[in-house]
Amino acid sequence: KRQDGSASAAPAGGTEYLVSTSVGGESLNLDFDTGSADLWVFSSSLSSASKKGHDIYTASKSPTYQALSGYTWSITYADGSGASGKVGTDTVTIGGTSVTGQAVELATKVSSTFVSDAADGLVGLAFSSINTVQPVQQQTFFDNAQPSLNSPLFAAYLPYNADGAYDFGFIDSSKYSGSINYATVNSGNGFWEFASNSYQVGGSTFSQSGNTGIADTGTTLVLMIDDAVSNYYASVSGASNSATYGGYIFPCSTSLPSLSVDIGGNYATIPGSLLNFQSIDGTNCFGGLQSVGGGTQNIYGDVFFNAYYGIFDASVPQFGFAAL
């Protein structure tokens, strides 16, 4: 089918990737988030202070906008950020893929995190079962696009500090090396979630039986259960869990071990070089592996995708990964 296509994802600060998206002919830079299912945009209804530094969607300027009268949305993300507003439909085009009648959620309120972030909104690519629109839940861009794609899948290519891409409807063999491993996805919580029963630090293997992992391009870091994080940093000389910085820091001169995580029965290995997230003060650095803060769901965010091409396949559903 002819709607397959690839959209370029520009790095905005190393591990945030923004995709130029057309909504009713208006161009916005949106953050693609496989950990949520709402497509929302900064709108002309926001306060001037909230709009500062952002491209804005103005429904009245779009010839194809249709209001959904009385519909609302409100979302709070795991990091505490959030947004809310009203709803309409419009034509949304991403790379070569166009969807008419896509639910577009217009923000009338956004949290401070989003005002200071580069994104002009989010494209939710998790399962539509967790879309927050009321009174009638809406479908994601991917769910609406599926019938016009060759295959019901999309793939995330997010190399560190380099141009990335989201491919819709096809797997791009030029974007990875070696073979693809697949994990069966349990979409019961609305996420691309799979079994993740163990991990390896350097040469040691640790069990985390019964735990799961979530492939989440909307989360910057790799977030794992406390045991895993303390086992990892136990082998990093000079590492400490800083209350000041809200996570593990270590001397930037330290060489970091690799981290391998079980994804549906196969290991994905993140090299130590990708686990130094950023320098704090020239001496100490903040780790790309941090605590998820509780529960049994590990979150494999952008730092994971800096090492692996991720394939989100709705046909099973399954999550595939292949080394970049």
Of 274-303, binders to ligand 45M (CB under 6 A) are 297, 299
Q: Show which residues are catalytic.
A: 33, 216
Question: CA-to-CA distance for 261 and 229, rounded, in angstroms?
Answer: 12
Give the rounded distance of the alpha carbon of 198 from its chain centre: 22
Work out whether 6 is an interface residue with ligand 45M (CB under 6 A).
no
Helix count and strand count (H, E) for the chain: 5, 26
Least spacing, CB of residue 169 vs ligand 45M, in Å:
23
Binding mask 164-193 for ligand 45M (x = CB under 6 A): ---------------------------x--
Least spacing, CB of residue 189 vs ligand 45M, in Å:
8
Output helix, strand, coil percentages for the chain, rounded to the nearest 5: 15, 45, 40
Binding mask 217-236 for ligand 45M (x = CB under 6 A): -xx-----------------
Of the candidates 214, 239, 289, 307, which one interacts with ligand 45M according to CB under 6 A? 214
Q: Which stretch binds ligand 45M (CB under 6 A): 4-12, 32-40, 45-53, 203-211?
A: 32-40
Binding mask 53-92 for ligand 45M (x = CB under 6 A): ------------------------xxx-x-----------
Residue 12 has a CB neighbour count (10 Å cut-off) of 14
Q: Give 286-309 as a DSSP string.
A: EESEEE--SSSEEEE-HHHHTTEE
Question: CA-to-CA distance for 37 and 131, rounded, in angstroms?
Answer: 5
CB contact at 8 A, 24 and 64? yes
Point out which residues bind ligand 45M (CB under 6 A). Answer: 33, 35-36, 77-79, 81, 191, 214, 216, 218-219, 297, 299
